[in-house]
Structure 1
Amino acid sequence: MRPCYAIREPRRSIDEVRHAFIHRLLLYDNRNTHNQLRLYQSTFFKLVEVLKNKGLRSTKNVDVEEQVAMFLYVIGHNVRLRVVAFYFSHSVSTVHRHFISVLRAIQRITGDYMKQPGSNDTLLQQSVTQRSFSHYFKDCVGAIDGSYIPAMVNIEDQPRYRTRNGRIAQNVMAAVGFDMKFTYVLAGWEGSARDPKVLKAAVRDAPTKLLIPAGNPIAF
């Protein structure tokens, strides 16, 4: 039997491994980028530029592109920071720090992309009033609905976040106009909370309240 020999490859540094992974993730294959980050490459780099304009900056060891990629990997796959730390060859504390930085930058752009209708806003009604069912939607400016989104909470808090179907989730309320654009989102409510309670809080108690245009009253 002929002996087998394994050729020992030169050992790469952590930086080389990381750079190779980032290059393959962001530049190699567009479909792979979409599968991993939920964005195509062109959209990803547009988002990076938007966040840079909102103050997100590269650090000595992590540039903005990598920060955003780590953030998207977490929210796109619902994985723990330890998983991202392994793939991106960073410590968990580094991933956590940059996740928070990107999250705050995302919060700063919400006002640019999510605007509530004003009292004189008639644009949202045009697509409705021009159709045969306009009678049923007279003075309507949009639609409001709630959705359960899975959540990871402490064991002692799980009963409050348990839905009627037994899932651990938060009840997220969103409003959308007839142009199919989101105008309001309220997240964080426990899964056990009923939609009317969340809606009442959005109108009366939330730090950023749901605005009801003049002439379109809402009752509870």
Structure 2
Amino acid sequence: MRTGPLSGHIFVHELLQGHEARAYENLRMTPRLFLKLRDVLINKGLMKDTTNLTCTEQLAIFLHALGHGVSNRVLSERFHHSGETISRHFNAVLKAVVSLKREYINLPQNDVQVHPHVRHNKIFYPYFKVSSYNKI
């Protein structure tokens, strides 16, 4: 069904080897940062190549989906893989990225000062409230 000349692997290769702005538009990060993130995920044993997809393509699918809010069907068409393959690898990369949270995300301490505009504005309340439930 997906027999176009630009497969997902070739598309990702062109993004990473081509103009930096094009990679940024599609992946929402520079090629250098993309490759560093991929290497961190591989070196920690959180991602590995499979028969159908390299780690590079798996991460590109994940970032393209997040950066553009596109559906599984659109990703299937763009990267030339079945919806099941896209879904399985998207979820695997999501799990891998989430597992990095302790190393890369610092939760606020109790003594952190919150700007009064945020603290007293009900629009921000559900997003910036720090409670014991939010602590890990």
Please, what TM-score do these two structures have when normalized by structure 1?
0.51
Which deviates more, 15-24 or 91-100?
15-24
Paired position in structure 1 for 2:6:
17
Which of 1 and 2 has higher RCO (CA within 8 Å, sep 6+)?
Answer: 2
* CA positional deviation for 1:78: 0.7
Pairing of 1:111-126 with structure 2 (within 5 A): 111-116=102-107
Pairing of 1:146-157 with structure 2 (within 5 A): none
Paired position in structure 2 for 1:210:
135
Look up the equivalent residue of 1:63 and give its one-letter code.
Answer: T
Partners of 1:62 and 1:15 in 2: how far apart? 17
Look up the equivalent residue of 2:42 and give its one-letter code.
Answer: K
Paired position in structure 1 for 2:16:
26
Residue 37 in 1 paired to residue 8 in 2? no
* CA positional deviation for 1:52: 1.2
Partners of 1:97 and 1:28 in 2: how far apart? 28
- RMSD over aligned Cα atoms: 2.8
Higher helix share: 2
Structure 2 residue runs of 5 or longer lacking an equivalent are none
CA deviation map 1:38-57 (0-9, x unaligned): 00110110110111123211
* CA positional deviation for 1:69: 0.2
* Percentage of identical aligned residues: 31
Please, what TM-score do these two structures have when normalized by structure 2?
0.79
Partners of 2:10 and 2:47 in 1: how far apart? 23
* CA positional deviation for 1:143: 2.9
The structure-2 alpha-carbon separation of the partners of 1:172 and 1:79, relative to structure 1 and needing over 3 Å to count, comes to farther
Residue 108 in 1 paired to residue 99 in 2? yes
- Counting matched residue pairs gives 127
Paired position in structure 2 for 1:53:
43
Structure 1 residue runs of 5 or longer lacking an equivalent are 1-12, 120-139, 147-163, 165-170, 175-198, 212-220
* CA positional deviation for 1:20: 2.6
* CA positional deviation for 1:142: 3.9
* CA positional deviation for 1:60: 0.9
- Please tell me whether Structure 1 or Structure 2 has the larger radius of gyration of its CA atoms: 1
CA deviation map 1:35-93 (0-9, x unaligned): 11100110110110111123211101101000000000001001101101101000011
SS in 2 for 1:143: coil
